[in-house]
Amino acid sequence: MDTLRKKIAARQNPTVAGLDPDFAKLPAFLREQAVARRGKTLEAAADAVLAFNRAIIDALCDVVPAVKPQAAYYELLGWPGVRALAETIAYAREKGLFVITDAKRGDIGSTMAAYARAHLGTVEIEGAEITPFGADALTVNAYLGSDGVLPALEVCKAHGKCIFVLGKTSNPSSGEIQDKLVDGEPVYSLLGHLCAHWSGMAAGGEPSGRYGTVGLVAGATYPAQLAELRQNLPHTFFLVPGYGAQGGGARDVAPAFDENGDGAIVNSSRAILYAWRKEGCNERDFAGAARREALRMKEDLNAVLADHSK
Amino acid sequence: MDTLRKKIAARQNPTVAGLDPDFAKLPAFLREQAVARRGKTLEAAADAVLAFNRAIIDALCDVVPAVKPQAAYYELLGWPGVRALAETIAYAREKGLFVITDAKRGDIGSTMAAYARAHLGTVEIEGAEITPFGADALTVNAYLGSDGVLPALEVCKAHGKCIFVLGKTSNPSSGEIQDKLVDGEPVYSLLGHLCAHWSGMAAGGEPSGRYGTVGLVAGATYPAQLAELRQNLPHTFFLVPGYGAQGGGARDVAPAFDENGDGAIVNSSRAILYAWRKEGCNERDFAGAARREALRMKEDLNAVLADHSK
């Protein structure tokens, strides 16, 4: 997590911009250019998505420390979309951004190791080491227990990467399973404690540093639970979705941070990506609008964090 | 689920063959051919995987009703691997097999809809409807609650597809979360009841048919829980991993079936795929060995089911 924390400190901005590009919502000129070149195909859609992402990354790379591509939107465009995901990750890293692939993968044993090697590590092809996707971090669904997390930690250790495990997600129905009480403790809190335990294991059983290898996803839409998790998990870094389009504000995310304004990164996807629609500006200025929204969010967060740290 | 059940009945075999091809474990001649043509690249590895899968599908398509590609092994080979996944699915369907993509996806709202459209439905590119992967069923991790399942059900309804939600998985640590008691009921059982509820919703609130749109993953390595789930969920079809390489036998999976020997399909991956290694036969006969193992498993299951139905 230290690489991410340094990038946050350098930009004075604990924001991760979600890259969830929905082809149908891209500026018309990008869609038309791509279809003119390659027809109404997955390849055309993937080209448009990549062009969109590159412009967004160029506009944001000195404002935000990290981007979070959402795998679903790339898979929706088949294998050309997945190629656009790999190219987006490579481009963002070239521009100095930390990349969290939001894929919520979860499986067991050698299958989980395959996911982790795919997204964070390497694969060996007859002696050659090749990097399939090369992100810095991956979101993980740990419903399968330790068998679904430990293989990913091995890959993190070998390649200096980290993971974020789903704890309390930002959606309305997250409570159906996550809020259920187990011996008086909600399931999301159990997951939080497991994260702290796994971070300790990743650090070789030693007490982990300020923030360990296994982070937790905890939504801005549940500020009380966020505050409780922050208090109980002093060494767990949080990835906080739900700011902006999902209804969370800067005051709602403040409890995710520690007394130094460290310990969390807040995601915004649609509000940044599609800012040009809200601004009503020329669609060709979509990247400029994204940058203005990211700067507004940075100010918003920093103002509240200044209060929070007092 | 009716399409799957008809295919099971036609072949008199409730087996799904897992397609989890690990490049390093493929027959040497396939690896060498691919690398000779395309170098030590992801493309070469993906070519070898596709050639392997096609031969396995040819050998199994009149023995088993279904195949279950495991997405992780394809993602491990980057976008060329994901292309091989799409081509494997298309080939298996051409050969009359039902395809369950084992991707354990789980997200919310429009993101979950994107996963479901990717794997089971279509995407619109400027008016053209394109099928990115085109499987018949998808495994789903429902830790995020209804928000992670209902968008997939919409896609199932529109395209006549189905999903399998993770309940009690076959791995040793599955109990860390799944066995925890919530008001006296284990979490996996809560998931089972949610599946039945979601199936009812998919059927428009009407009582669903014999087996509804939402199936459950319940591992062969926990036969007591399997029996309990079967009893409590008379309208939920089960996908049963854990037979063979993971240690479950035919007697362990029997409780997953109803009194007619219906209601479940049992997965075997490595035992079928890598049967030639166990047989010690010529690696060029890998597909023949897979067929022999699939026939052996069919007999094994049918013998036990004949007893079970008495």
- Domain CATH code at residue A174: 3.20.20.70
Is the pLDDT at B61 greater than 90? The verdict is yes
- Name every chain B residue with its beta carbon within 8 A of the beta carbon of A37: none
pLDDT at B205 over 70: no
DSSP B36: H
Catalytic residue among A104, A278, A298, A310: A104
| Cβ within 8 Å, pair B76-A115 | yes
What band does B160 get if pLDDT is binned at 50, 70 and 90?
very high
The shortest C-alpha distance from A18 to chain B (Å) reads 12
Q: Note the pLDDT tens digit of each residue in B36-58.
A: 999 999 999 999 999 999 999 99
3-class DSSP assignment, residue B108: coil
Q: Torsion-angle region of residue B231: left (phi > 0), alpha (psi -120 to 50) or beta? A: alpha
Query: A180 CA to chain B: closest CA distance, Å?
Result: 6
What does A198-248 look like in DSSP terms, one character per residue?
HHHHHTTTSPP-SS-SEEEEE-TT-HHHHHHHHHH-TT--EEE--BGGGSB
Per residue in B81-124, pLDDT (tens digit) is: 999 999 999 999 999 999 999 999 999 999 999 999 999 999 99
Mean pLDDT of B17-32: 97
List the one residue out of B215, B217, B197 whose CA is nearest residue B207.
B197
CB contact under 8 A, A114 and B73: yes
Which residues in chain A come in under a pLDDT of 70? 205-209, 310
Tokens 């951004």 — which residue?
A97
> Mutation test of the interface with chain B: which of A130, A177, A180, choosing the one with the most B Cβ atoms within 10 A?
A177
Distances (CA, A) of B168 to A175, A202, B90: 20, 26, 30
| Statement: residue B207 has pLDDT above 60 | no
The DSSP code for A143 is: T
Model confidence at B246, pLDDT cuts 50, 70, 90, reads confident
Catalytic site residues of B? 104
Residue A220 distance to chain B (closest CA, Å): 15
Distance from CA of A118 to the nearest CA of B (A): 4
A110 chain-B contacts, CB cut-off 8 A: 22
ipTM for the predicted complex: 0.96
Give the nearest partner residue to B75 out of A40, A118, A142, using CB atoms: A118
Measuring CA to CA, which residue among B47, B259, B141 is closest to residue A139?
B141
- Token pair of B239 as six digits: 């996908």
Specify the pLDDT at position A206. Answer: 59
Q: Strands A98-105 and A66-69, how do they pair?
A: parallel
Shortest distance between the Cα of B169 and any Cα of chain A, in A, equals 7
**Mean pLDDT over residues B278-307, rounded?**
95
pLDDT of residue B59: 98
Q: By residue range, what is the domain housing residue A106?
A: 2-309
Q: What confidence category does residue B210 fall into, taking pLDDT thresholds of 50, 70 and 90? A: confident
Closest chain B residue by Cα to residue A132: B78
DSSP-assigned letters across all residues of chain A: -HHHHHHHHHHT--EEEEE---GGGS-HHHHHHHHHHH-SSHHHHHHHHHHHHHHHHHHHTTT-SEEEEBHHHHHTTHHHHHHHHHHHHHHHHHTT-EEEEEEEE---HHHHHHHHHHHHS-EEETTEEE-SS--SEEEE--TT-GGGTHHHHHHHHHHT-EEEEEEE-SSGGGHHHHT-EETTEEHHHHHHHHHHHHHHHHTTTSPP-SS-SEEEEE-TT-HHHHHHHHHH-TT--EEE--BGGGSB-HHHHGGGS-TTS-SEEEEE-HHHHTHHHHHT--GGGHHHHHHHHHHHHHHHHHHHHHHHH-
Q: Write out chain A residues lying below 8 Å of B133, CB-based.
A: 75, 78
Burial class (CB in 10 A: 0-12, 13-18, 19+), A146: buried
B76, B115, B191: residue with CB nearest A114: B76
Q: What percent of chain B has pLDDT over 90?
A: 89
Contact call for B111 and A20, based on CB within 8 A = yes
The answer to whether A75 contacts B144, with C-beta atoms less than 8 Å apart, is: no
| pLDDT of residue B245 exceeding 80 | no
B147 contacts B111 by C-beta, under 8 angstroms: no
Contact list, B22 vs chain A (CB under 8 Å) = 110, 114
Residue A104 appears among annotated catalytic residues: yes
Coil, strand, or helix at residue A133? coil
CB atoms A81 and B132 under 8 Å: yes
Q: What is the mean pLDDT of residues B280-299?
A: 96
Q: Are strands A264-268 and A238-240 parallel, antiparallel or unpaired?
A: parallel
Report CB contact under 8 Å: A145, B178.
yes
Q: Which residue does chain A place closest to B45, by CA atoms?
A: A125
- In the numeric block, the tokens 């529109």 are attached to B158
Cβ contact (<8 Å) for A115 and B194? no
Q: Cα–Cα distances in Å, from B295 out to A94, B64, B219?
A: 52, 9, 22
Query: Is the Cβ pair A104, B107 closer than 8 Å?
Result: yes
Q: What is the pLDDT of residue A249?
A: 87
What is the pLDDT, as a whole number, of residue A210? 83
Average pLDDT of the residues of chain B: 94
What residues of A are in contact with residue B187 (Cβ under 8 Å)?
177, 180, 182, 187
What's the domain count of chain A?
Answer: 1
Q: Measured in whole angstroms, how far is the alpha carbon of residue B66 from the centre of its chain?
A: 8
